[in-house]
Structure 1
Amino acid sequence: MDTWIGLMSGTSMDGIDAVLVSFQDNTLCIHETFSKPYPEELRQRLLLASQNHATPDEVGELDTLTGVLFAETAEQLIYNCSLDHSSIRAIGSHGQTLRHQPSGPSHFSLQVGNPSIIAEKTGITTIGDFRSRDMAAGGQGAPLVPAFHKHFFGSGSEDRCILNLGGIANITWIPSSSGRPVTGFDTGPANALIDAWCHDQTGRLYDEDGRWAQEGIVQQALLTDMLSDAYFERPAPKSTGKEKFNLDWIKTVVKRHGEIRPEDVQRTLLQLTVITAVRQMPQSPAMAVYACGGGTRNRLLMKELALALSPVRLLDTAELGLDPQWVEPTAFAWLARQTMEGKPGNLPEVTGAKGPRILGAIYPA
Structure 2
Amino acid sequence: MEKYIGIMSGTSLDGVDTALVETDGQSIQLLAQDFFPIPDDLKQDVLDVCIGQQTTLVKIGEIDHRLGKVFADAVEQLIANNHIERSDIKAIGSHGQTVFHTPDSAYPFTMQIGDANLIAAQTGITTVADFRRKDMALGGQGAPLVPAFHKALFDHLDNNIVILNIGGISNISIINSDQTSGYDTGPGNMLMDAWMQQHFGKPYDKDAAIARSGTVQPELLQRLLSEDYLKLPAPKSTGRELFNLPWLEQKLLGLTLQPQDVLATLAEFTALTIADQVTGLTQSNQQNELLVCGGGAQNPLLMERLQTLLPDWEIGNTLKYGIDSDYMEAMAFAWLAHQTMHNLPGNLPAATGASRLAVLGAIYLPN
Cα distance in 2 for partners of 1:206, 1:155 equals 36
Pick aligned residue for 1:270 from 252, 255, 267: 267
Provide the residue aligned with 1:280 in structure 2.
Answer: 277
Return the letter of the residue paired with 1:337.
Answer: H
| Residues 58-105 of structure 1, C-alpha deviations (whole Å, 9 max, x = no match) | 010000000011001101111112121111000000011111111122
Output the amino acid matched with 1:238.
K
Distance in 1, matches of 2:219 and 2:39, equals 38
Q: CA deviation at 1:25?
A: 5.7
The separation in 2 between residues aligned to 1:231 and 1:43, in whole angstroms, is 26
Deviation at 1:311, TM superposition (A): 3.0
Q: Deviations over 1:213-272 (max 9, x none)?
A: 00011111211111011110100010000000001111110114x211111110110011
Aligned residues of 2:167 and 2:294 also touching (Cα < 8 A): yes
Amino acid at match of 1:103: D
Q: Is the 8 A contact 2:25 2:339 kept in 1?
A: no
Deviations 1:146-184 (A, max 9, x none): 000111022442010000000000011101x2xx22121
Q: CA deviation at 1:136?
A: 0.3
Deviations 1:99-154 (A, max 9, x none): 11111221111111100100010110000000000000000000000000111022
Aligned to 1:137: 138
Measured after TM superposition, the shift of residue 28 of structure 1 is 1.9
Q: Does structure 1 residue 154 correspond to structure 2 residue 155?
A: yes
Instruction: Report deviation, 1:27.
Output: 2.7
SS of the residue 1:255 aligns to: coil
Q: For 2:283, give the aligned amino acid.
A: S
How far the C-alpha of 1:304 sits from its partner, in A, is 1.1
Identify the match of residue 185 of structure 1 among 179, 183, 186: 183
Paired residue type of 1:249: W
Matched, 1:205 2:206: no
**Paired residue for 2:31?**
31
Per-residue CA deviations over 1:255-304 (Å, capped at 9, x if unaligned) read: 14x21111111011001111111111211132110000011111111111
* Per-residue deviation, residues 12-62 of structure 1 (Å, max 9, x unmatched): 011100011101464322111110011111111111111222211101000
CA contact (8 A) 2:25 2:152 kept: no
Does residue 1:261 correspond to 2:258, yes or no? yes
Query: Following the alignment from structure 2 to structure 1, what is the Cα–Cα distance between the partners of residues 147 and 191?
Result: 23
For these two proteins, the number of residue pairs brought into alignment is: 361
**Distance in 1 separating the partners of 2:123 and 2:298:** 32
RMSD (CA atoms): 1.0
Spell out the pairing of 1:61-140 with structure 2 (5 A cutoff): 61-140=62-141
Q: Name the residue aligned to 1:238.
A: 236
Higher mean displacement: 266-275 or 21-30: 21-30
Output the amino acid matched with 1:6: G
Q: Which amino acid aligns with 1:182?
A: T
Q: Aligned pair in 2 of structure 1 residues 155, 287: CA closer, same or farther (>3 Å)? A: farther
How do 1:13-28 residues align onto structure 2 when only pairs under 5 Å count?
13-24=13-24, 26-28=26-28
- Tell me the SS of whatever aligns to 1:98: strand
For residue 240 of structure 2, what is the amino acid of its counterpart?
K
Give the residue type in structure 1 aligned to 2:18: A
The yes-or-no answer on 1:315 pairing with 2:316 is yes
Match of 1:173 in 2: 174
Corresponding position of 1:342 = 343
Q: Which runs of 5+ in 1 are unaligned?
A: none
Amino acid at match of 1:284: Q
Measure, in 2, the Cα distance between the counterparts of 1:83 and 1:215: 45
Secondary structure of the residue aligned to 2:171 is: strand
Aligned-partner residue type, residue 73 of structure 1? A
In 2: Cα distance, 1:353 partner to 1:346 partner? 8
Residues 184-227 of structure 1 deviation map (CA, whole Å, 9 limit, x = unaligned): 10000011101011111111111111110000111112111110
Amino acid in the other structure paired with 1:326:
Y
Q: CA deviation at 1:343?
A: 0.4
Percentage identity across paired residues of the two chains: 45
Worse overlay, 280-289 or 262-271: 280-289
Of 325-334 and 151-160, deviating more is 151-160
What is the TM-score of this pair, normalised by structure 1? Answer: 0.97
* Structure 1 stretches of 4+ moved >4 Å: none
Q: Distance in 1 between matches of 2:207 and 2:147?
A: 27
CA distance in 2, matches of 1:221, 1:14: 31
**Residues of 1 paired with 2:25 and 2:62: CA distance?**
40
Q: d(CA) in 2 for partners of 1:288 and 1:29?
A: 22
TM-score by length of 2: 0.96
What are structure 2's unaligned runs of at least 5 residues? none
Which structure 2 residues correspond to residues 321-340 of structure 1 after superposition, within 5 A? 321-340=322-341
Whether 2:249 is the aligned partner of 1:248: answer no
